[in-house]
Amino acid sequence: QASGEREADDYKSLLQIEAQAKWRLNPAYRLVNTAGPPHERQFSVEVAVGDKVKGRGRGRSLKEAEKAAARVALRRLRRQAAA
């Protein structure tokens, strides 16, 4: 696997590592919404660290939506750290 592909698979792990390092907390994922017929289901998930939502994501599976939420949260955390 190329490193970009590996990172894409590891968004949740990377977020967990960064959240533990920065706040000593684990991210928590919460299903916000499920829409669409069973064969085209869309899941919406948010990820929070402590009491703050850090990212939201959507996907055709719960796992895909969690990865999307973790990716958004990581980007936000990295932007804040760079600022």
DSSP secondary structure string for all residues of 13-72: HHHHHHHHHHHS--EEEEEEEEES-GGG-EEEEEEEETTEEEEEEEESSHHHHHHHHHHH
- Distance CA(27)–CA(15), nearest Å, equals 7
pTM: 0.87
21-72 per-position pLDDT tens digit: 999 999 999 999 999 999 999 999 999 999 999 999 999 999 999 999 999 9
